[in-house]
Amino acid sequence: MAYCKISLKEVPRGSKYEDYHDAAFKKLFGSLKVSPVLPFSRSEFKQDSVKYTKGMSISGVHQKLSLIIDANGYLSPVNQGGEFILKPSPEEFPFAAENEHAAMLISDLLGIDTAHCGLVAFSDGELAYVTKRFDRLANGQKRHQEDLLQGFNMQSDRKYDKSYEEAGRLVFEMTDGKKSVVSDYLRRVVYAYLIGNSDLHLKNLSLQKNEDNKTHFYDKLSPNYDCLFTDTYESLEDAGFFALDLFKDGETTGEYDHYGYPTGYDFLELCRRLDIPTTIFAKFVDLIVKRKSEVIEMINRSFMPEKMKEKALETVEDRLRVMQVGAFE
């Protein structure tokens, strides 16, 4: 049985494309008339991408390309005004596309608002990650959005220079004290720890305004994006538990000093410092426990290679176990 390269659900007989569930395909692309195969190869992308990536962000080594659905139903590159973003796996990080796809679907499974995404193939068969842009309104205008690095008014080379405590306080300030948004933020930090994503930095957390908001405050976090099981890469295994320190000035809890790694106690302390109920963390851990079998199934169904799946499963098992330490006291 084939699994959908968008939803990871079983693809039923009679589906238009053998690797895609019709409903999932239409949800992402809006139509079944779109080709899931790109009209160019990976090597052609590498050769020609410079003329299309002007103005597009390049995060580290992860090059991105803006796409539209052209008149012939192909996903084609454009300089501006794209509906989708294409991210091939960097040569330094093979199967990053498949890795990010799985991590994003699990984020959605656990109730986090998450960007719509899937996998499409280059003409030579290599898979690439594609996501629908969420920074555009229905009329094509740009949605008012600001990442936390901009919120701190800092340069891009300082995206690791604050703590999650400080970032959470900034979320509180920028949303006029909306604790529901701070709670959502807390869940995203916890999720990053669960999957071993050690790159949740200030540019990977953004706030958005609703279309009718005329104030200078923000309404919510943007959909979750740029989630990966970074621990599955040997070159990143020593990156640490988090992209940022948990607490201001590099403070640690007594429990962290005792165990040598973050446990539920640390997230409870983060809740207290952000002035949100500790039950926010406990309930999220309880949800993960209840959906653990689904998380495991999603990793196993993913298009990551077996060794990468094994490491991802090991990380989730280990992190969920230690997050339960102190979580329900």
Both 192 and 109 in one domain: the answer is: no
Which residues form the domain of 77?
A: 22-132
Both 81 and 197 in one domain: the answer is: no
Is 116:131 a contact under the CB 8 Å cutoff?
yes
Q: Mean pLDDT in runs of 10 for the chain (329 residues)?
A: 95 96 98 96 78 47 84 93 93 96 99 98 97 85 93 95 99 98 99 97 97 94 97 86 96 96 98 98 98 98 98 98 85
Give the residue from 105, 132, 159 where a domain finishes. 132
Both 167 and 47 in one domain: the answer is: no
Please list the active-site residues: 199
9 within some domain: no
What total of structural domains would you count in the chain? 2
Query: What pLDDT was estimated at residue 79?
Result: 87
236 within some domain: yes
Query: What pLDDT was estimated at residue 55?
Result: 42
Both 119 and 167 in one domain: the answer is: no
Entry pTM = 0.95
Query: What pLDDT was estimated at residue 53?
Result: 56
Query: What pLDDT was estimated at residue 107?
Result: 99
Query: What pLDDT was estimated at residue 52?
Result: 59
Give the residue from 110, 132, 154 where a domain finishes. 132
Q: Indicate the helix (H) or strand (E) that contains 279.
A: helix 279-290
Both 194 and 86 in one domain: the answer is: no
Give the residue from 72, 104, 132 where a domain finishes. 132
| The pair of three-digit structure tokens given for residue 183, joined into one six-digit string | 């709670």
Query: What pLDDT was estimated at residue 200?
Result: 97
Q: What is the 3-state secondary structure (H, E, C) of 142-173?
A: ECCEEEHHHHCCCCHHHCCCCEHHHHHHHHHH
Calpha distance 18→12 (Å, rounded): 9
3 within some domain: no
Both 149 and 32 in one domain: the answer is: no
Find the CATH number of the domain harbouring 180: 1.10.1070.20
